Amino acid sequence: MTTSAKRHSTPPLAANDRSGRAASPRVKLYKRGIAILHADPQAGERLLAEALGAADRDALHGLLKQLVKASMTGRKPDEANLAFLISLVKSIAPKDSIEAMLAVQMVSVHAAAMRSACRLALTDDIPQQESLTRALARLARTFASQIEALSRHRNNGERAITVRNLSVQDGGRAIVGNVTQHASMIVAEPNVDVEDGAIA
């Protein structure tokens, strides 16, 4: 894959950009620090903090440092990987510090899983294959658990109950469509109802 070394911004993809938010500024890595590339440094920090769900400047810089460590390629931080991880965190759209920490963990676990998958594809050594397969399976389970934790946090700790199979006996009533039940409410698609086998 060939990329331009001078790429400083990534335009949003029209078909996939559902956020409606302004693009977050790019981050430049230097030997002694991190710079947020924006004409107005304070606005750049604010935009990046909003994208990462950071409550303040200290949280922003802490999350950025963690993402820099997760972006490592060959023991060196990688700006392209960092931009990718920041973009993934932004797409998760964390709304508080718990979601921000969880989003950073999620993208870091994803990056580690992909590194394990790459190493697995490149090795012919059976013990290494077994070890990498176990690591990849653990990372995949961890990622799935993180998704569930994020969903529970966003639903105030309530688990969603989804009914997939339903049988209706004579004289019974059922709702046809996507139905999700939380402890405090039931949501169904409007105007979709079944009575005695007929759709209303």
- pLDDT tens figures, 50-100: 999 999 999 999 999 999 999 998 889 999 999 999 999 999 999 999 999
Percent of the chain at pLDDT > 90 equals 59
Running DSSP on this structure, what letter comes out for residue 174?
A: E
Q: Is the pLDDT of residue 153 over 90?
A: yes
Mapped onto helix, strand or coil, the DSSP state of residue 194 is strand
123: left (phi over 0), alpha (psi -120 to 50) or beta: beta
pTM of the model: 0.68
Q: What's the CA gap between 66 and 51, in Å, rounded? A: 15
Backbone dihedral region for residue 7 (phi beyond 0: left; psi -120 to 50: alpha; all else: beta): beta
- φ, ψ of residue 161 to 5 degrees: the values are -115, 120
